[in-house]
Structure 1
Amino acid sequence: MLPPSAAPAILGEIASSLAAGSDLRELLDRFLEPIVRLADAQAGAVRMLSLDGEHLELVSSIGLPPAVAQAERHVGHDCGLCGQGAGRQQVVWSTDLDGCAARTHGDFFGHECQGALAVPLQHRDRVLGIYNLFFAHGREPSPAVLGVLRSIGELLGLALDNLRLEAENLRAGLAHERQAMAAEIHDAVAQDLTFIKMRLPLLRDAIEGNQRESALAYLEDVRETLGQAHGSLREIVTHFRARIDPRGLARALDVLTARFCVRTGIDLHVANRMPHLELPEAAEAELFQIVHEALANIERHSGARHSWLNVEPTLAGLEIRVEDDGVGPAGAGGTAGGPGHHGQAIMRERAQRLGAELSIGPRAGGGTVVRCVLPLPQGAGAPA
């Protein structure tokens, strides 16, 4: 059993881990063992409420026999001790474990385990799960220990609520990506297909009228436009498949820019003065996609011969600039309804999610500048 003085340390470490954004399952695995020792229990388990609210699903356990852990993987939300804890939103102690014994078909409950606790994991009066402690004796923990266990439940409930919000944001993000992909396909491909549809009757009439030159001209129109549609579709699929390199943003940008040069023939000068900068994975992914979209717009719309990518620290934070010497924002469809407006909208939304500032405007000397500035903690933006 841990000494009472260990309780504040456990609470403090859980709170700091939550603030640092630690992985939830890793957090549960790491803290379940000291919680078990703090309460002088022999085993512990953490259960999350399913999305439909009908079941409690086991996500972490320690000290449970494998057969018991397997039987406890899914239980009803109103099942026995756990259901009482969730329904009452309070810590529940019980030595009546006949229901648990009947469900697990073994001799753990009622023999090896003489008492059990159910502690709700809740945030703002919403129960998101339960954690259990199982005791070889039938003595209820002291009120001081129960108070600490309740506090731990509230902290872990906060973690589960954050996980729920992240899952909801992910679903919303996926829906948005699907809408964006549909819009890109419509803008890039639908007009080409409409043109082909209009040309085919003319081609048929020319063939039936034995008008060889007209037929060949219409056929060439169809062939060229179909090639454009196919190329546009491949670019869109490539864009939405793009993922951040697991080795980090700098490596991902190296690969992206090398492929850009090979594929387009457009000269690209890269200057990265922050190659060792490390950001959260989600932030690196958003920045990568912003650069990816900016380069895709250069390829599709700018008519540029030269382009530049600069990554550097400024007083405002991390600055990424993508420039080209092409036709400029207006000529590249920078106004609403133009061929690049969906891509620009997506870039702005990504920057907004990051808390970054994004601007798109004309470049001195001709062309376009896409500028994204992300605030960084003091000292994080020193050049390498």
Structure 2
Amino acid sequence: MLKPGLFAGWQKLSTRIVGLLLSFLAIALVVIGSTLLLSWQLEGSAAAINVAGSLRMDSYRLALLATQMDGGANGAQQVGEQLRRMERTLELLRRGDPQRPLFLPPTAAIHGAYAEVIQQWQAELAPPVRGLLVAGVRDGAQIKLIQQRSEQFVLRVDQLVHRIERDSETRTFWLRASQLTLLALALLGTVSIIYLLFDMIVAPVTRLQGGIERMRERDFSVRLEVDSNDEFGQLTNGFNQMADKLQDSYNNLEQRVQLKTSELELQNRELALLYDIASFLQQAQAAEPMCQGFLQRISEYFRADGGSVRILDPLRGNLHMLVHQGISEQLVETERCLKVGECLCGEAVVSKLAVIHDLRRRADGHTLQCHREGFATISIFHIFAQRQHMGFFNLHFRASTTFTAAQTALLETLGQLLGTAIENQRLQGRDRELAISEERNLVAQGLHDSIAQGLNFLNLQVQMLEQSLQRQRMDEVESIVPALRAGVEESYQDVRELLHNFRTRLQEGNLVTSLETVVDKFRRQSGIAVDFSADSDGAPFPREHQLQLLFIVQEALSNVRKHASASQVWVRLTDDQDFTLSVKDNGHGFDPAALETQGEAHVGVNIMRERAQRIAAQLQLRSAPGAGTEVLLRLPRAQRRAA
């Protein structure tokens, strides 16, 4: 009895087809295997017949050699070789050779006949031959005995050969029967498979095709009979269910089209609102007009009678009303600044969840200013930026209003867009403040490195001048005045250089063009020869990076003019795997170890290092007393950013 699970599995079309094919395959393999086995056995039997038949010729030859034996060594040797040859043949029949193949058929009669052949060989024919070989003398009686027993041995071998031949005839019959069976099986299997495949596949497919043709002609009442539980039965059942749904859909098609059209229009309006607000918030504008435009757009979309946007001050716990519309001045003054936890809006800040209040259903609604002004529904949606709560916005409705889940999600998304825009404004302001602070720091460092030191020198000279005048030492006055004039001139040049550096902007062109301009100006002002070379027509850097590189070159050339006492300067720009910029002179140089001990005192070097850090570059100073100085800036490829 089949189990229910097995019966259900057999009902599957794939299971039945696979089972049918495997059954035919198993039967075919059995018949083919038996055919191959019979063919192999027939080959072994044929080889055994040939080998056994050779024993008859070998027996006659043995008797002939024994008759011709004349007592010499040559005759005895031939008889011995023939004797061993026959023994090897008998051993081959006993052992068999699967590779040829060669073996005796596995029947009791054949193996009994072979045993009689072996017994007659060992007991009757072989002993007199061996005795003749031992005697070594021709004996007529012994030779006659060998001839008689050879005849008997040949008869015994003939019996063995005849039995092998009869067995081969029987196996040949079964081989032909197996081949006929295989042919009949092929014909029967082909017909059966065609019939079963037609019954299991073609007929159901034809029925399904007919149903589809009727449905194509809009006959949605067509239903097919389910007459099996296999895959085609399930497919037919699915076809009937599809026909039911198509009939229902066709009957309600107009209503569904109107519903989908309205949903699509609503989604298009939501997308248009999102696009409008997103593009509006991306414009450069102050916070108040940005929030005012935001509030106006969502109020028009949701047909709100009023609204407001409030910003949270987390340090003081205050909620400041930034913009408003559609609410009275009295309400604005009352709720211009709320504490977290006060009123309905302050409570919503604590929970940080969107809240929609129906004031007509609240027991304390008459105590709220919003309700007294005629508003029935107050909605509160929060403003977030990077999970940071920044405030919320209200929508006021004089009629009772509810929001769908899609509308609530839309308003929450709009709150995130507004929060991101406000946060971007704050970050931009901070970036501008940081940039101004950094530039002021660089200006202060430049003034300290040049003007402050020059003024300090002038102050000391003025004090010395005052003391000389008090002592009436005119010779000292005459030596101090030129120093004062030189100090004033140097300070004036420093001021002009600083003003030029901080007013420097990249000209139209590229970095190489701007560097050539700086180098030419340095040649004219200092009179120092400069060799400038670049293997690139301008590195693809952002303009801010190029400006920092230009400032570093200006500062390096300024140090050459002030401190190096050089007669030659080399400026090299190499744009290979890494970007490299080198400014080298042949001045008197200095000890880098001594420079490191000065720390922050050498402001010019620190300014160059800070500018290099801004663009993630590496700045090195190479120098030695009497060997000149090289400022080497390297920007690895991994740190470069394209313009």
Contact conserved, 1:39 with 1:145, CA < 8 A, in 2? no
CA gap 1:237/1:171 in 2 versus in 1, 3 angstroms? same
1:90 aligns with 2:349: no
Deviation at 1:207? Answer: 3.1
Structure 1 counterpart of 2:607, from 343, 353, 368: 343
CA gap 1:227/1:44 in 2 versus in 1, 3 angstroms? farther
Alignment of 1:148-187 (within 5 A): 148-187=410-449
| Aligned-partner residue type, residue 93 of structure 1 | I
**Which structure is higher in strand share?**
1
Contact conserved, 2:282 with 2:421, CA < 8 A, in 1? no
1:359 aligns with 2:613: no
Structure 1 counterpart of 2:475, from 201, 210, 213: 213
1:285 aligns with 2:547: no
Deviation at 1:347? Answer: 1.0
Give me the whole-angstrom Cα distance separating, in 1, the residues matched to 2:311 and 2:531. 50
Q: Which residue is equivalent to 2:583?
A: 323
Structure 2 counterpart of 1:298, from 557, 560, 566: 557
1:120 aligns with 2:382: yes
Deviation at 1:87? Answer: 4.1
Could you state the TM-score of these two structures normalised by the residue count of structure 1? 0.63
CA gap 1:67/1:369 in 2 versus in 1, 3 angstroms? farther
Alignment of 1:189-338 (within 5 A): 189-239=451-501, 241-242=502-503, 258=517, 261-262=520-521, 265=524, 273-274=537-538, 279=542, 284-285=543-544, 287-301=546-560, 306=569, 308=571, 310=573, 319=579, 321=581, 323-325=583-585, 327=587, 335=596, 336=599, 337-338=601-602
CA gap 1:195/1:120 in 2 versus in 1, 3 angstroms? same
| Aligned-partner residue type, residue 352 of structure 2 | Q
CA gap 1:139/1:201 in 2 versus in 1, 3 angstroms? closer
| Aligned-partner residue type, residue 619 of structure 2 | S
Q: Which residue is equivalent to 2:266?
A: 3
Give me the whole-angstrom Cα distance separating, in 1, the residues matched to 2:560 and 2:371. 69
Give me the whole-angstrom Cα distance separating, in 1, the residues matched to 2:326 and 2:418. 24
Contact conserved, 1:327 with 1:366, CA < 8 A, in 2? yes
Matched residue SS, 1:3: helix
| Aligned-partner residue type, residue 131 of structure 1 | F
Give me the whole-angstrom Cα distance separating, in 2, the residues matched to 1:293 and 1:183. 14
Deviation at 1:139? Answer: 1.0
CA gap 1:46/1:362 in 2 versus in 1, 3 angstroms? farther
Give me the whole-angstrom Cα distance separating, in 2, the residues matched to 1:75 and 1:309. 64
Question: What CA deviation, in whole Å up to 9, does each residue of 1:46-67 have, x standing for no partner?
Answer: 55446976453647x9xx5799
Deviation at 1:121? Answer: 1.4
Matched residue SS, 1:145: helix
Matched residue SS, 2:618: strand
Contact conserved, 1:48 with 1:57, CA < 8 A, in 2? yes
Question: What CA deviation, in whole Å up to 9, does each residue of 1:275-299 have, x standing for no partner?
Answer: 8x684xxxx3354134224313312
Contact conserved, 2:379 with 2:394, CA < 8 A, in 1? yes
223-232 or 35-44: bigger deviation:
35-44
Deviation at 1:91? Answer: 1.7
Deviation at 1:215? Answer: 0.9
1:368 aligns with 2:631: yes
CA gap 1:34/1:58 in 2 versus in 1, 3 angstroms? closer
Give me the whole-angstrom Cα distance separating, in 2, the residues matched to 1:114 and 1:328. 86
| Aligned-partner residue type, residue 347 of structure 1 | R
Deviation at 1:120? Answer: 1.4
Could you state the TM-score of these two structures normalised by the residue count of structure 2? 0.42
Matched residue SS, 2:266: coil
Question: What CA deviation, in whole Å up to 9, does each residue of 1:158-216 have, x standing for no partner?
Answer: 45445444544544554444444333322323333332232223323433444433212
Contact conserved, 2:354 with 2:382, CA < 8 A, in 1? yes
| Aligned-partner residue type, residue 606 of structure 2 | H
Give me the whole-angstrom Cα distance separating, in 2, the residues matched to 1:343 and 1:269. 23
Alignment of 1:66-77 (within 5 A): 75-77=336-338
Give me the whole-angstrom Cα distance separating, in 2, the residues matched to 1:309 and 1:94. 72
Give me the whole-angstrom Cα distance separating, in 1, the residues matched to 2:504 and 2:309. 33
Contact conserved, 2:617 with 2:635, CA < 8 A, in 1? yes
Deviation at 1:327? Answer: 4.2
**Which structure is higher in helix share?**
2
Give me the whole-angstrom Cα distance separating, in 2, the residues matched to 1:4 and 1:322. 61
Percent of residue pairs bearing the same amino acid type: 17
Matched residue SS, 1:36: helix
Give me the whole-angstrom Cα distance separating, in 2, the residues matched to 1:263 and 1:126. 53
Contact conserved, 1:261 with 1:268, CA < 8 A, in 2? no
Instruction: Tell me the C-alpha RMSD between the 2 structures.
Output: 5.3
Deviation at 1:225? Answer: 1.4
| Aligned-partner residue type, residue 370 of structure 1 | L
Alignment of 1:31-110 (within 5 A): 32=294, 36=298, 40-41=302-303, 48-49=311-312, 54=318, 56=320, 58=322, 75-78=336-339, 83-94=346-357, 99=369, 110=374
Give me the whole-angstrom Cα distance separating, in 1, the residues matched to 2:282 and 2:588. 44
Question: What CA deviation, in whole Å up to 9, does each residue of 1:103-146 have, x standing for no partner?
Answer: xxxxxx85xx8645332112466322333445575312113321
**Bigger Rg over Cα:** 2
Give me the whole-angstrom Cα distance separating, in 2, the residues matched to 1:127 and 1:329. 58
Contact conserved, 1:329 with 1:361, CA < 8 A, in 2? no
Give me the whole-angstrom Cα distance separating, in 2, the residues matched to 1:23 and 1:368. 44
Deviation at 1:253? Answer: 8.5
CA gap 1:25/1:376 in 2 versus in 1, 3 angstroms? farther
Give me the whole-angstrom Cα distance separating, in 1, the residues matched to 2:574 and 2:266. 52
| Aligned-partner residue type, residue 119 of structure 1 | F
Higher relative contact order (CA 8 A, sep 6+): 1
